[in-house]
Amino acid sequence: MLLLAGFAASVVRFRGDLIRAMQACGCEVHVAAPGLSACREVAEALSRMGVRMHDTPLGRTGTSIPADLAYLFRSWRLMRRVRPAATLAYTAKPVIYGTLAAWVAGVPYRYALVTGLGFAFTAGRRGMLTQVVAFLYRIALVRARLVFFQNPDDQRLFRARGLLLSSTPSVVVDGSGVDVASYAATPLPTGSPVFLMIGRLIGDKGVREYAEAARCVKLRFPAARFRLAGWIDANPDAIAPEELDAWVADGTIEFLGRLEDVRPAIAAATAYVLPSYREGTPRTVLEAMAMGRPIITTDAPGCRETVIDGENGFLVPVGSVDALVESMVKFIGDPALAPRMGERSRGIAEEKYDVHKVNAVMLREMGIAPPQSGAPHAG
């Protein structure tokens, strides 16, 4: 099995359990990602797991046609050398170009995992970039044996726009899952409420709405604290450093930077907030749920599936600062609310988002099973 990823730093965190599950089924696993050898911790972790690694240069957010075609060619050449029985590509460019390369290279089992729609499709964008990306998805996914989606809205959109033909099978899985043992429930902090958001610092994540809501709440409740963890991404929609500096300087936001381990930050939070415009299924929300935190997120694709409104958190309209403020104030006004909703979050994480349950579905759909079962597998 050859996994094709667009972001090396996330391979172990997001796909480590899936890789181990594949290995337990007898698969030899290779991983191809840009800058993999430069991410020393990731490379060392994959090496300890016995994974074969391959660097595949790729501009994750650029629109350079020559660079993308070079990635397709390098992926094809890698596949001709490695001769995998199956490929699993995730994130936009690996799904598009990696699947095409696998088809040209004659890889018999080609799987794609759509983890979100990205910049070209969010916030109602309908320009030339969206049309080009849609066309590329269409010609790539018709060559996939099976396409995984992380929420039903993305699946419906791909079908409705003709990006995914009716002849191509697809399955919805519950995100990437979360290891509920590693992300154990922790007691909520005492004292003034602490709100937390983690993610890439881009507009589509709702970072500006989070900052503005924090400013409004602090005018009424100065003791409330608002923390933000993440990094400024190479993205057309990225938050400007000057914006972030201003939020920190006026005391609105406590910026934690990029975190290798988010668990201490979640443990120190009363509630987790993600005002995103659209997601596949947000991993940080699942991690916060597993640790017993209530969630405030948007009634948007990928986000709405994680919250039962009023039970383990609140759903707010996309872009609504007022609704964010109202939800935050509820936790401030009722100290018993966060523990009750947090307990429900943990229960949902265990029932629905346990990574071992999610991976079991993916392996079954790909026909991968432990050798002793006698079932065929695409190793």
Q: Is the pLDDT of residue 291 over 50?
A: yes
Q: Is the pLDDT of residue 55 over 60?
A: yes
For position 377, what pLDDT does the model report?
Answer: 46
pLDDT digits (tens, 9 = 90+) for 150-168: 999 999 999 999 999 999 9
Q: Is the pLDDT of residue 62 over 60?
A: no
Average pLDDT value over all residues in the chain: 92
Per DSSP bridges, beta strands 271-274 and 295-298 are: parallel
CA distance 158 to 287: 27
Triad 237, 264, 347: Cα angle to 5°:
90
Q: Is the pLDDT of residue 375 over 50?
A: no
DSSP 183: S
For position 242, what pLDDT does the model report?
Answer: 95
Q: Is the pLDDT of residue 362 over 50?
A: yes
Q: Within a 10 A sphere around the Cβ of 260, how many other Cβ atoms?
A: 7
3-state secondary structure at position 207: helix
CA distance 173 to 363: 11
pLDDT (mean) for 107-131: 76
The b/e string for 135-171 (b: 16+ C-beta within 10 A; e otherwise) is ebbbebbebbbbbbbbbebbbebbeeeebbeeebebb
Cβ atoms of 367 and 171 within 8 Å: the answer is no
Of 13-17, 67-71, 128-132, 329-333, the poorest mean pLDDT is in: 128-132
Of 118-122, 161-165, 178-182, 213-217, the poorest mean pLDDT is in: 118-122
Longest dimension (CA), the chain: 64
Q: Is the pLDDT of residue 78 over 90?
A: yes
CA distance 255 to 247: 9
Tokens (6 digits) for 24: 């337990």
pLDDT digits (tens, 9 = 90+) for 196-209: 999 999 999 999 99
Per DSSP bridges, beta strands 295-298 and 313-316 are: parallel
Q: Is the pLDDT of residue 136 over 90?
A: yes
pLDDT (mean) for 9-28: 94
Confidence of residue 77 (pLDDT cuts 50, 70, 90): very high
For position 373, what pLDDT does the model report?
Answer: 47
Confidence of residue 2 (pLDDT cuts 50, 70, 90): very high
CA distance 308 to 315: 8
Cβ atoms of 201 and 244 within 8 Å: the answer is yes
Nearest alpha-carbon partner for 151 in 119, 125, 115: 115
Residues 6 or more apart whose CB falls under 8 angstroms from that of 195 comprise 214, 224, 225, 226, 227, 269, 270, 271, 272, 273, 296, 328
3-state secondary structure at position 350: helix
Assign 3-class secondary structure to 278-335.
Answer: CCCCCHHHHHHHHCCCCEEEECCCCCHHHCCECCCEEEECCCCHHHHHHHHHHHHHCC
pLDDT (mean) for 15-37: 95
Residues 6 or more apart whose CB falls under 8 angstroms from that of 256 comprise 227, 228, 229, 265
Confidence of residue 38 (pLDDT cuts 50, 70, 90): confident
pLDDT (mean) for 331-345: 97
pLDDT digits (tens, 9 = 90+) for 244-262: 999 999 999 999 999 989 9
pLDDT (mean) for 73-79: 96
For position 131, what pLDDT does the model report?
Answer: 86
Tokens (6 digits) for 337: 């609310």
Nearest alpha-carbon partner for 231 in 198, 274, 265, 192: 198
Counting Cβ atoms within 10 Å, is residue 56 exposed (0-12), middle (13-18) or buried (19+)? buried
CA distance 377 to 379: 6
Tokens (6 digits) for 306: 């994680």
For position 58, what pLDDT does the model report?
Answer: 78
* Rounded CA Rg of the chain: 21
